Amino acid sequence: MSEKVLVVDATNQILGRMCSVIAKKLLEGYRVHVVNVEKARISGDRRSFTREYVKFLEIKSVRNPKHTPRHPSNPATYVRSVVKGMLPMDKKKGRNAFRRLRVYTGNPGNLGGQPVRFEEADATRLGGRSFALSELKDVFKIPEAG
């Protein structure tokens, strides 16, 4: 039985809409590789998002630091956590689906197949403000290309 593989290019894709389609594809049995996640777009005001996320990063356990929640510190792990929140992780099918997800900053190039883009998640549909994950260098540790 051949495995269904889907390579998704996140360039100029709305993050939430793209992740919801990816979650559905994972539950259908696809193995999904997401490339160029630093170019995905988030709708809204960048300063507002940064303020909220920095506040989220400050949540720590004073009594025992090893019980501090883990916070995504780069775009790839942030996108993984967004998709994880859209999967039924309390069921076996959700856990198995999450294991089939691979997220890359940049394009590794050896994934095979033509990268697809979701029409319903295209950022040109946005009427208001949006920003790319790569613009959040003060929040995320984004590796330099090269």
Q: Which pLDDT tens digits describe the chain residue by residue (146 residues)?
A: 457 899 999 999 999 999 999 999 999 999 999 999 999 999 999 899 888 888 888 888 888 888 888 888 888 999 999 999 999 999 999 999 999 999 999 888 788 778 999 999 999 888 888 999 888 877 776 655 54
Q: Which residues are within 8 A (CB) of 126 and not within 5 positions of it... i.e. 6 or more apart?
A: 14, 41, 43
Nearest to 138 by CA among 32, 56, 50: 50
CA 69 to each of CA 35, 81, 83: distance values in angstroms, whole numbers, following the listed order: 26, 13, 18
What is the reported pLDDT for 18?
96
What is the reported pLDDT for 1?
42
What is the reported pLDDT for 70?
81
Running DSSP on this structure, what letter comes out for residue 65? Answer: G
Look at residue 125 and give its three-state secondary structure: helix
